[in-house]
Structure 1
């Protein structure tokens, strides 16, 4: 049962008054900046030119006040130390402050992208009832939320143009809360909310890229814009950013250790790390109830040369003092994020750690992985490698947490290179597909002697009855010799839009997708030929004590990416009845849930959103026999909250009653995380066993 605990400083971690560290004293010393510069000069550090308006800090000793807050869904939160009444929420927020010129430029670019996004898709969005296009004298267009209960007032300007006041978006709350004792049901609920929010973010980002692609087709000088900034702007305007009303300390419900992110703005949207560029996320003193900044999360990405990272222990270099090339050129100061980290250490407040790692498949060349909660145990001012003084913080990972996601990423990378070196025991086969797939499929079993996946014929794609293909010589296809273009024959069959982007990411789920086939003149590299080329990620079938058998990837699978086909031998309903009488287990495609409708779903943003219904597909009245011939997908486990979904695809024939069952990622799937799909509920004519492995 959920309990409520007050949020109190960890008294065991507060500094001993008789042995107060130099940094704690510095935080309360009005001559901190001068003393730091003097000390640097005495030991031979480089002394940069003093910055203008360099004011010393003047902080008062805090008076902790414990307050309990109860949320509607009945889980525990507790406030941080505070000595000021929480009445600042009703006051107008102060103007945003930036810790560096680079961060200010990033925010300026963010605002510019927001304006471009609204202007570029304003007309298209008018079909949704909660949006309206406003035109002014300069013929500029903006897209704004429309709500008849909005407090904004309508006004009639010159030339009879109607305008409304834009909704004001305030800064994040400065109230710190900690969530504890979250039960399984609550955790599932928050996980679902987080998943849907991230899917909405991806849907908007892909939509922005699609619109930008169309604009570039008609404008030679069009500048490519960033879909991640566009998506975050739309979600901000739709009030879909999470964890804004309260600032959560520690673990955030719905976010699991090991979750991977390709965009920093996505972490801002869900509240994991709220800084667009800065590595330290904190409540500034202007928002804090006790007038002191408090840090809540940090990103460790190797941006500072003095960082030391050994996993469970991190020597984290503070922020500031760098030039545009990332070189230290000035002494750091105990202010902004640095002071926030010191104050978090003083109060015993833990921080979330996100690590940035290089990744070739990312647009930025980097991915971010959440690694859990750390405690700040020490802080000191030291000489850096470049000769300037830097603040260093020792972060120690709190015990009894799941394995770090960055560790699993690194292990998977080494596993792909040298599997026997990383796992001397347990491998039964290094390719159960026998080179039928583009990449090998491993078989790993360190549980027992079971070798079932070896005793079958591996097939790359499903086999359908001969009559399904009809007269293949009289088919029709596109005439795009150099590659498909907008409004070609195959694009028209898909509703006038490409189903995939240039990287093979599915824009949105549909009842059925038509890929270019054997009668098309486009090359094999055509962007409308994704699933027919087979798997691109390295998979491992493994023995599981929970699900008997399971499948995991050795690669990071981005959300919306093709995974593999669910392959077997297609049987008609009459054949399926005979097989069922003999006791064989069959998989019925009609039972798979409609998870495809969730990918690209914008119902959170648009109340009248209608999921795609074209083209309509009749009920799939066939079964897949996977008892003798199958592929890697048949060992994927069932889950009611899966991370993959089934998308129907046609490419080698035109019989919509026998489509291919293609699996796509519903979220970013980190390496070595088990893949799951929703097999649905068994009906009276199908076997109770959902799959041969479960």
Structure 2
């Protein structure tokens, strides 16, 4: 193990993270937990729009499956939402050279319109120190592509605003500084956390309502979460229609729900597979396609990865999922044809069937494509269909759908699939519930093998003896624990996880049912003590030295692994520190647990948990001789995992376990990163 020169590649410096403040007057006791009943919140209604593609949307009325394919010809979600960035407007689209005379007159009228339009825009003249703002741009005389301003102004906070009507303004973001990348990634992550938190809390509240005999109208939780966020103007990218890459969204990002694609602005249609700016909202009066979803819904699709033959929309029977009519060059099909004409890149999202998904499918963002040709063809069912050939733009990250397939092949035969480099299948020697492999194809470094693998931390005997401290023991539940269990009382009157082991919301400390409890191992309140749930790999990285990644798709809010080593008391820490041993200090990790489950953007009365009580931690974990996979997590000030303190084998609150949970959906082969809460100069003093 080397001392980290690392830091995650997303940042070279670390800034203090601000977390939700605790409102004054909150009583930190078990009888006053912060809880909200989402079923009491009114679901918003959305105003109708005149464009045929943009119809009324009431999230409560949608009964379509989240696995709907790209051919549905009805119901489109109000797409691409407000966010805290102002981009410069799109320069006008240019027709072919055979229309130069007509286009010259169009130019003159367009300039007059833009001059009038920009005077009505009150765009601030300054913002992010790393970007500039342009409110207008000259119209090109002839071009086959969109020309857009490259910079933006970013506000520092999410603010509540009155809902804005979607603009005809289309933009492309072509330059972002490193700090901007971090800002937008955190913005997207925060939005996704809010969506997921509302979704799981809605399910919990509906289950509680049914269990208490109360009447609760069952709704799809993802629709309700999206509706609540829409009503608070929390959808991203609504007042700007982004062409190309969206800041804060990376190639390979994975989503379980179509509604989540809408919430982050990646794809604005609830069911239809083609998202576009309709003609009535386009400056030049022509529809422009921005993204498509490929999910195997049309039999004439031919998906070759980098080369995609995409079948247009329309003509399909909604119940039989078969073609029953010929397609027409209108709506989404016409928008794709216009995007080909102007050379506009298309975001491609693939829907893939996955057994571990709560919906049976995942949606993977695979990057940008260009349409190179389109034609009318006779499909397999004998009806005429429009086909579009798309080529993936070079120089992007590997497709997420490809990485899912590679990960599946590696899990099936990990040894033969590694055709070069140093590889060991399981450095834990069976101590973990899933193997922890090591792989190095860069150099001959084998540093992780020099240390004993320690699956669980070793505590001083005096700490372990405090299991029955303060007269408290385990619960006496014969079957799975319920809400009146004494362990639930310790947690503030509620359990920390849902039925799938997903963390409902972060807390200063979580009590799990443990060794002294009578409940079975299947109890919902036993999660982290069961060990890792995914095959992990320690790998050699060019950017971070040694890093950790998973061969599985890790769902947001789920347990990954524990930080393990030899636990030292405060006195032992002071002695060992003088000897320059490699120590991990739990007190230095920032409280990112407060981010998970925070729905204060939707409910102003939400209170960040302050119970169960956690004192100031003064112990350390020595990883100089024995350690586990968590000790190779790289640092980032925009991390995808966080530390949650948990107790299950003793009740000594001064020595909790350091459990690692995911902040977002983490696809296979994406490096796991954590915020150690220290500046770069101190990283070298850590073992990491």
The structure showing larger relative contact order (alpha-carbon pairs under 8 Å, at least 6 residues apart) is: 2
* 1:668 and 2:629 matched: no
- Is 1:550 paired with 2:544? no
Instruction: Give matches, 1:32-43, under 5 Å.
Output: none
1:31 aligns with none
Q: 2:368 & 2:135 partners in 1: Cα distance?
A: 17
Check the 8 A contact 1:475/1:519 in 2, yes or no: no
Instruction: Encode CA deviations 1:222-277: one digit per residue, 9 max, x unaligned.
Output: 66432111111111111111111111111111111111111111111111100001
Find out whether 1:453 has 2:537 as its counterpart: no
- Mapped partners of 2:179, 2:634: distance in 1: 21
2:637 is matched with which residue: 640, 647, 655?
640
Structure 2 equivalent of residue 411 of structure 1: 406
TM alignment of 1:113-512, pairs within 5 A: 172-219=166-213, 224-323=218-317, 324-470=319-465, 472=467, 476-512=473-509
Residue 10 (structure 1) shift: 7.4
What is the CA-CA distance between 1:422 and the residue it aligns to? 2.6
Q: Give me the whole-angstrom Cα distance separating, in 1, the residues matched to 2:215 and 2:526.
A: 30
**1:286 partner SS:** helix
| Contact 1:80 1:175 (C-alpha < 8 Å) held by counterparts | no
Q: Structure 1 residues 654 and 439 mapped into 2: Cα distance closer, same or farther (>3 Å)?
A: same
Residues 383-415 of structure 1: CA deviation (Å, up to 9, x unaligned): 111111111011111121121111112111111
Alignment: residue pair count: 565
Residue 476 of structure 1 and its aligned partner are, at CA, apart by 1.6
Tell me how far apart the structure 1 counterparts of residues 583 and 442 of structure 2 sit (CA, whole Å): 27
Distance 2:133 2:297 in 1: 36
Shift of residue 173, structure 1, vs aligned partner:
2.7
Which secondary structure state, in structure 2, belongs to the residue aligned with residue 411 of structure 1? helix
Q: What do the CA deviations read for 1:147-175 (whole angstroms, capped 9, x no partner)?
A: 9xx9xxxxxxxxxxxxxxxx8x5653332
Q: How far apart in 2 are the matches of 1:598 and 1:300?
A: 33
Mark the CA change 1:9 to 1:422 in structure 2 (over 3 Å): closer, same or farther: farther
Shift in Å, 1:592 = 0.9
Deviates further, 242-251 or 572-581 = 572-581
- 1:629-670 Cα offsets, whole Å, 9 max, x none, are 111101111111111000000001111011000000011111
- 1:612 CA displacement: 0.7
Q: Residues 480-629 of structure 1: matches in 2 within 5 Å?
A: 480-607=477-604, 609-629=606-626
Contact 2:369 2:391 in 1 (8 A): yes
Q: In 2, distance between residues paired with 1:682 and 1:397?
A: 39
Q: 1:213 to 1:461 in 2, by over 3 A?
A: same
- Per-residue Cα deviation, 1:164-215 (whole angstroms, up to 9, x for no partner): xxx8x56533322222222222222111211111111111112111111112
Determine the C-alpha separation between the residues in 1 that align with 2:492 and 2:613. 12
Deviation at 1:503, TM superposition (A): 0.7
Query: Residues 357 and 366 of structure 1 are in contact (CA less than 8 Å); yes or no, is this contact kept in structure 2?
Result: yes
Task: Check conservation: 1:77, 1:177, Cα contact below 8 A.
Answer: no
How large is the Cα RMSD of the aligned pairs? 2.9
- Which TM-score applies when normalising by structure 2? 0.77
How far apart, in 2, do the equivalents of 1:333 and 1:251 lie? 29
- Please give the secondary structure, in 2, of the residue aligned with 1:470: helix
Name structure 2 gaps, 5 residues minimum.
1-85, 141-159
Does structure 1 conserve the Cα–Cα contact (< 8 Å) formed by 2:415 and 2:425? no
Q: SS of the counterpart of 2:279?
A: coil
**8 Å CA contact retained: 1:8, 1:80:** no
SS, match of residue 396 in structure 1? strand
Taking the aligned partners of 2:212 and 2:605, their CA distance within structure 1 comes to: 30
1:442-483 per-residue CA deviation (whole Å, 9 max, x = no partner) reads 100112211111122212111111111226577522222120
Higher mean displacement: 641-650 or 195-204: 195-204
Q: Distance in 1 between matches of 2:395 and 2:421?
A: 26
Rounded Cα–Cα distance in structure 1 between residues aligned with 2:104 and 2:555: 47
What corresponds to 1:44 in structure 2?
Answer: none
CA contact (8 A) 2:643 2:658 kept: yes
Give the structure with higher Rg (CA): 1
Instruction: Write the deviation string for residues 487-536 of structure 1: whole angstroms up to 9, x where unpaired.
Output: 22111111111200111000111000000011111110111000000001
Q: What's the TM-score once normalised by structure 1's chain length? A: 0.77
Structure 1 window deviating more from structure 2 (649-658 vs 207-216): it is 207-216
SS, match of residue 532 in structure 1 = helix
The answer (yes or no) to whether the contact 2:267–2:292 under 8 Å persists in 1 is yes
Aligned mates of 2:444, 2:89 — CA distance in 1: 48
**1:679/1:690 contact within 8 Å kept:** no
Q: Is contact 2:92–2:284 with CA below 8 Å preserved after alignment?
A: no
1:5-154 matches, within 5 Å, as 7=91, 9=93, 63=106, 65=110, 73=127, 74-75=131-132
